[in-house]
Structure 1
């Protein structure tokens, strides 16, 4: 029973503390997160570039 009372006291102490939640813009980004974002941007840019190239080829073939 002593263990249960002790755990209840700890839980009350934890609950009494104010917990400030951080918003997404307040959380610092890690280097890994930045590299991952950079790779995603590279991939999306190359995908967009290839779509534009294929569209240019289609348009050129129509007017020949």
Structure 2
């Protein structure tokens, strides 16, 4: 995912800026594994994992609505 796509996703899902969103970006844009992204963003692994899941689910719903 590109940074531009990620920015659009955050607007679509109304995600708030913060360390958890930083972890999601590190995973989705930079390809960093979730545990590493969580450590780099200084957030709990489970919190980062749930946020990544929500973002991916929102993306999937957006894509399915368009087809």
Q: Which has the larger radius of gyration?
A: 1
TM exceeds 0.5? no
> Which structure would you say has the larger RCO, counting Cα contacts within 8 Å and 6 or more residues apart?
2
